[in-house]
């Protein structure tokens, strides 16, 4: 069976890669590896999500990054939120994200393995962000969208990035059905940034 970035324990031979990337006005240093998503550069979907998402003015709660990979989304917002929890099913990705947090002197993060929301450390998040692992299948993406609702505070937001051709319109419908609302914050080269608010 071949490895995928959503594999729990990738067996691909290690090929480490190091680079810097500007995100939210700061150059972050990343070390990546084979067996993780978009190892050579921060993928365009994550870039658009990071650039588009506007945190609350004075966040007091925790941000949850679902499917964090080696860490670009969650680490980008660690200077804004008091606490950021970052989860991924891929143990190799989690290890890289932990190392990248240390590499960038980011301490207010809780980075650990979790299969979607199975092992999250809270049930009351101020915000949930995700660049969902589309290749893991529609069921996984749907669980990320619907499972966010009970974990958010009232007023909390779920913000995701999906390509139109990879299911953004159906995700828009599911988020509307789950939350009662959805907004397309941005369309960029086929990528949609979708946001729902728990009311």
Q: The domain spanning residue 148 has which CATH number? A: 3.40.50.150
Residue 85 lies in a domain: yes
Count of structural domains, the chain: 1
Write the pLDDT tens digit of every residue in 21-71.
999 999 999 989 877 876 668 999 999 999 999 999 999 999 999 999 999
* Domain, as residue range, for 173: 43-197
pLDDT surpassing 80 at residue 170: yes
Residue 176 lies in a domain: yes
Write the pLDDT tens digit of every residue in 113-166.
999 999 999 999 999 999 998 888 899 999 999 999 999 999 999 999 999 999
Distance CA 173, CA 178 (A): 9
Residue 7 lies in a domain: no
Q: What pTM did the predictor assign?
A: 0.93
| Torsion-angle region of 116 (φ positive above 0: left; ψ -120 to 50: alpha; else: beta) | left
pLDDT of 2 reads 44
Residue 69 lies in a domain: yes
């Amino acid at each position: 069976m071949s490895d995928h970035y959503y594999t729990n324990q990738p067996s691909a031979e290690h090929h480490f890669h190091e680079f810097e990337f500007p995100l939210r006005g700061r150059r972050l240093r990343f070390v990546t590896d084979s067996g993780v998503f978009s190892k050579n550069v921060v993928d365009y979907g994550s870039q658009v999500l990071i650039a588009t998402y506007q945190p609350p003015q004075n966040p007091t709660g925790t941000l949850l990054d679902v499917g964090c990979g080696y860490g670009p989304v969650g680490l980008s917002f660690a200077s804004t939120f008091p606490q950021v929890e970052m989860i991924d099913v891929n143990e190799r990705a989690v290890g890289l994200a932990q190392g990248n947090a240390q590499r960038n002197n980011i301490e207010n993060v809780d980075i650990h393995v979790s299969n979607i929301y199975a092992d999250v450390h809270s049930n009351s998040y101020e915000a949930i962000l995700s660049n969902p692992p589309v290749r893991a299948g529609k069921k996984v993406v749907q669980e990320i969208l619907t499972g966010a609702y009970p974990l958010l505070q009232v007023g909390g937001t779920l913000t995701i990035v999906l390509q139109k051709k990879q299911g953004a319109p159906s995700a828009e419908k599911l988020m509307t059905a789950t939350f009662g609302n959805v907004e397309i914050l941005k369309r960029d080269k086929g990528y949609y940034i979708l946001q729902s608010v728990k009311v």
